[in-house]
Chains A and B, each alone.
Chain A
Amino acid sequence: MTQIVPALGEIALFKVGDAIRVATRAPIGQRGVIAKVLQPAAVDNEIEGFGHNAGLRRHYYSIVFPMAEVWAGYEGQPADRLQIEVFESWLERTEP
């Protein structure tokens, strides 16, 4: 039996617990951790929102960021965090 080859983008790049950063967005450009790989993958409506055909479905992740990573001078507790969902195309792997 031959090895099954998945299509490009078919398998999620990141798994729960992976350290990532959001590539091109401020202020949420800082380091966070994948909390959940959301299923099913979906068409990136943020790209569609700008009038472009987003085409294929993209993997979508629930990510937690320490608030202190997002906001310089955050006045709260170190354990405070932000949970937000981001499409895979925005994410880069980082060292934990």
Chain B
Amino acid sequence: MTDSDHDHDHDAIEATDSSPGYYELLEISVRELLIEKQLITAAEIRRQLEVLDSRTPALGAKIVARAWVDPAFKARLLADGRKACEEFGITFYDDTQLIVLENTEAEHNLICCTLCSCYPRPVLGLPPDWYKQKPYRARAIAEPRKVLAEFGTIVPDDVAVRVGDSTAMMRFMVLPLRPKGTEAFSEQELAALVTRDTMIGVVHPSLEARNPQ
């Protein structure tokens, strides 16, 4: 596109921002130094990226769907989230523990990390950007009902809200309520309803919002 294609005023649109930011430079520098000094290898970094890439909300969805259809599994999941996930072969490579917060008719749960970006990565993968940004981190813990309303989730006054604030060692995941009208659904069909945001607790699962199969 050339300047003559249109005539309104704005800054030049750049297809790519070629200059890395401060933290990106810092990360690259430290990484290259660690490799150069042979403290870690490039292969180890690549392997860890593969580990991260292998974790997606689909894992959490399988866990939730199983808990919906298997009361004994649900009991194990609520007693020790990590052990129950390990039954599915999900490893906790970051050596965190997992507390699963169960949504009920009387209480709705929301998770956050006010300190930084702690998140149940072994079972949900990387957190969404908004989860890591200061507005969500500051507001989820101080005015959770307003934050939920902005996601379209209105929690009635007679339903309590519990906010789980994660730490370096302890991560939370929400076990959402199984939607009504899903009595005949298979476990796989149920898992399709369990989106990432339902396990963060900002929305309820619904028959309208499904994961891609």
Contacts and interface: CB of A to CB of B under 8 A. Distances in A.
A binds B: yes
B60 interface: no
A32 B151 CA distance: 29
Contacts of B160: 77, 79-81
B163 A85 contact: no
Interface residues of B, number: 23
A12 interface: no
A33 to B, nearest CB: 13
B99 A84 contact: no
A85 B141 contact: no
Interface residues of A, number: 21
Given A60-B169, A62-B170, A71-B142, A77 B164 contact: no
B56 interface: no
Contact of A42 (B99, B141, B142, B169): B169
A53 interface: no
B163 A82 contact: yes
B168 interface: yes
Nearest to B170: A85
Nearest to B162: A81
Contacts of B161: 67, 76-77, 80-81
Contacts of B107: 79
A76 to B, nearest CB: 5
B165 A75 contact: no
B142 to A, nearest CB: 6
A49 B162 CA distance: 28
Contact of B97 (A38, A46, A80, A82): A38
B162 A84 contact: no
A82 B165 contact: yes
A52 to B, nearest CB: 15
B144 A76 contact: yes
B193 interface: no
Contacts of A76: 143-145, 161
Interface of B: 97, 99, 101, 107, 141-146, 157-158, 160-165, 167-170, 172
Please give me the 8 A-B residue pairs with the lowest Cβ-Cβ distance, nearest first. Answer: A79-B160, A84-B165, A85-B170, A80-B161, A83-B164, A85-B167, A81-B162, A76-B145
Given A38-B170, A45-B168, 9 more contacts: A67-B161, A76-B144, A80-B144, A81-B160, A81-B161, A81-B162, A83-B99, A83-B101, A85-B167
